[in-house]
């Protein structure tokens, strides 16, 4: 039996481990933290994306549309909370209508159930929404992604998979007769193949394994607020703005969660540490690494003013954050929202300053490296896992 070591215990790593196990491989999962789903998976919006934003034919388009079905089916089979509630994407200005039309065309091309609706029809779903046009997307849902991970861990444990917490990959080298050896500090894991699902540290793990990745991870923090309990009635489901097509982020939106709370956000600011969930989270090493990367300066030249500056201002100003939400739901005021944590997006960037738009998976002998898997990776996790398992089987 071939054995595979998976580095990373988020939803993608655990899904890969489960798919490999189902195919009869012997799997070891290494997670550096003391719990599963500690970073991107445990700090996201818990939205099951439909797949309308992504370029037709891309990994993201194909895997999110298929993943929308497979992750919901998995959740229902294994008792994970999930609700397919649909969402509204709203144009709040006539100038946004061309971009809304483009989204409708992409939805059709990707096989996403979506339709253009009028402002009056939009208010049937969301009585407090303000818009000049809207897109209703039926297959968007909400889920508990950490609970998906717990279900996967339970299945893996029952299958006898070697699951190791507090086990960072500290060094990786090729085995004398092929395969890989991974040093964790307590021992050395010997395997026929390596799958790198290390998220925020995926490029570092790739370099540790001896390959030069085509992109570098640059961390962006997304900060959230939530509506106070007595104002949750303002939002019935999910309300998204029309995104700026030149940026990888969807813009500040409103999301009703499974427990009835309503989250608002996220914004997008450069994090000062790979796992920098607050402005006070600072790593001199991480900042120096980002500052030495020419891609960051090229991106800053393009977006620092006014886009980047506006995001930083919104990070420090509750009033500005509330004003962004009021574009979607005018009744929301500064007094209606309170802080509610943040997440960090592992955004892959190339040396020319371009942001990697699609999932990025690179291979070497006996190795598969997932180098860009931000949203909708959680939605697409089971599909990404099938793709990676195929590559491991072919290696």
DSSP string computed for 144-184: -HHHHHHHHHHHHHHTT-EEESS----EEEE-BTBSEEEE-
Name every residue whose Cβ is closer than 8 Å to that of residue 229 and which is 6 or more positions away in sequence.
261
Domain membership of residue 211 as a residue range: 3-394
Return the half-sphere exposure (C-beta side, CA atoms, 13 A cut-off) of residue 288: 3
Q: Left if phi > 0, otherwise alpha if psi is -120 to 50, otherwise beta: which for 165?
A: beta
Provide the CATH number for the domain around residue 301: 3.50.50.60
pLDDT by residue for the chain (395 residues), tens only, comes to: 589 999 999 999 999 999 999 999 999 999 999 999 999 999 999 999 999 999 999 999 999 999 999 999 999 999 999 999 999 999 999 999 999 999 999 999 999 999 999 999 999 999 999 999 999 999 999 999 999 999 999 999 999 999 999 999 999 999 878 899 999 989 999 999 999 999 999 999 999 999 999 999 999 999 999 999 999 999 999 999 999 766 667 789 999 999 999 999 999 999 999 999 999 999 999 999 999 999 999 998 888 777 788 899 999 999 999 999 999 999 999 999 999 999 999 999 999 999 999 999 999 999 999 999 999 999 999 999 999 999 997 76
pTM: 0.96
Name every residue whose Cβ is closer than 8 Å to that of residue 128 and which is 6 or more positions away in sequence.
234, 235, 329, 330, 331
State residue 302's pLDDT score: 86
Q: Do the beta carbons of residue 122 and residue 14 sit within 8 Å?
A: no
In 3-state terms, what secondary structure has residue 193? strand
Please state whether the peptide bond connecting residue 306 to the residue before it is cis, i.e. omega within 30 degrees of 0.
Answer: yes
d(CA 26, CA 192): 10
Q: Do the beta carbons of residue 32 and residue 223 sit within 8 Å?
A: no
Alpha-carbon dihedral angle through residues 146, 149, 150, 155, given to the nearest 10 degrees: 170
Token duo for residue 129:
């929404």
State residue 395's pLDDT score: 62
State residue 45's pLDDT score: 92
String of b and e for 225-253 (b: at least 16 CB within 10 Å)? bbbeeebbebbbbbbbbbbeeeebbbbbb
d(CA 318, CA 314): 7
State residue 177's pLDDT score: 83
Domain count, the chain: 1
d(CA 5, CA 249): 32
């Amino acid at each position: 039996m071939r054995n595979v070591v998976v580095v990373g215990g988020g939803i993608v790593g655990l899904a890969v481990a489960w798919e490999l196990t189902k195919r009869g491989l012997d799997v070891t999962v290494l997670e550096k933290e003391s719990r599963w789903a500690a970073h991107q998976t445990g700090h996201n919006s818990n939205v099951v994306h439909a797949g309308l934003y992504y370029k037709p034919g891309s990994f993201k388009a194909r895997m999110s549309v298929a993943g929308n079905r497979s992750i919901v089916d998995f959740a229902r089979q294994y008792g994970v909370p999930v609700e397919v509630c649909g969402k509204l994407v709203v144009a709040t200005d006539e100038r946004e209508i061309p971009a809304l039309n483009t989204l409708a065309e992409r939805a059709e091309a990707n096989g996403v159930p979506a339709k253009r609706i009028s402002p009056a029809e939009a208010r049937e779903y969301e009585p407090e929404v303000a818009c000049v046009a809207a897109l209703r997307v039926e297959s968007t849902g909400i889920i508990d992604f950490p609970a998906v991970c717990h279900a996967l861990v339970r299945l893996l444990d029952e299958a006898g998979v070697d699951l190791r917490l507090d086990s960072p990959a500290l060094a990786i080298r090729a085995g004398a007769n092929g395969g890989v050896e991974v040093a964790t500090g307590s021992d050395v894991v010997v395997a026929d193949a390596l799958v790198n699902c290390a998220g925020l540290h995926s490029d570092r793990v790739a370099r540790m394994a001896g390959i030069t990745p085509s992109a570098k991870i640059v961390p962006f923090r997304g900060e959230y607020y939530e509506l106070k309990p007595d104002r949750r009635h303002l939002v019935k489901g999910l309300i998204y703005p029309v995104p700026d097509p030149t940026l990888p982020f969807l813009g500040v939106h409103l999301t009703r969660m499974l427990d009835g709370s309503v989250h608002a956000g996220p914004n997008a600011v450069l994090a000062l540490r790979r796992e920098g969930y607050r402005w006070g989270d600072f790593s001199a090493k991480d900042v120096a690494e980002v500052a030495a990367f020419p891609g960051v300066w090229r991106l800053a030249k393009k977006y620092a003013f006014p886009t980047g500056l506006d995001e930083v201002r919104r990070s420090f100003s509750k009033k500005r954050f509330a004003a962004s939400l009021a574009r979607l739901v005018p009744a929301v005021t500064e007094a209606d929202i309170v802080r509610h944590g943040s997440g960090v997006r592992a955004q892959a960037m190339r040396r020319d300053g371009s942001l990697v738009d699609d999932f990025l998976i690179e291979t070497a002998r006996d190795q598969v490296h997932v180098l860009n898997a931000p949203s909708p990776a959680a939605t697409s996790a089971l599909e990404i896992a099938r793709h990676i398992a195929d590559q491991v089987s072919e290696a």
